[in-house]
Amino acid sequence: MTKPIPDKAEVAVEYPDKLYMGTFERTARFDAHFDEAGISLGLYRGGGDNDRKSVRMHFHYALFAEILRDLAKTVASLPADDLVHRETLREAAKMLHLALETEQDRRDQADLTPDQEARLLHILE
């Protein structure tokens, strides 16, 4: 199911003899979902034959996990006072974290002491 793009995406695909570039803005749509092998992402812009375009990407789980790790390592490049983007990214990361928890994870967390719970919440923030 596609949703409107809330911001902007820019895509470039470079070959030795060609370069394809495209921009997807608020009038475009996207979808993102897990499947049996990894993460599927799609960007779609409607319109006439000259304007319509789409980009689909698929990342296997290990690659996507490594991308998330690299993003975490470079988060310092976001300006500290860019609170809107930091909060948006933090909330989305929390949602992904919670969605990935298993029933066993929830049971294990229930066994934490109050001090361990406070430390865990601090880490997640």
pTM: 0.76
Q: What is the DSSP string of 32-77?
A: EEE-SSEEEEEEEE-SSTTT-EEEEEEEEHHHHHHHHHHHHHTGGG
Q: What is the pLDDT along the chain (125 residues), one digit of tens a residue?
A: 899 999 999 999 999 999 999 999 999 999 999 999 999 999 999 988 888 999 999 999 999 999 999 999 999 899 989 999 999 999 999 999 989 988 776 666 666 777 777 777 777 76
Here the tokens at position 31 are 């979808």
Position 69 scores a pLDDT of 95
Position 102 scores a pLDDT of 81
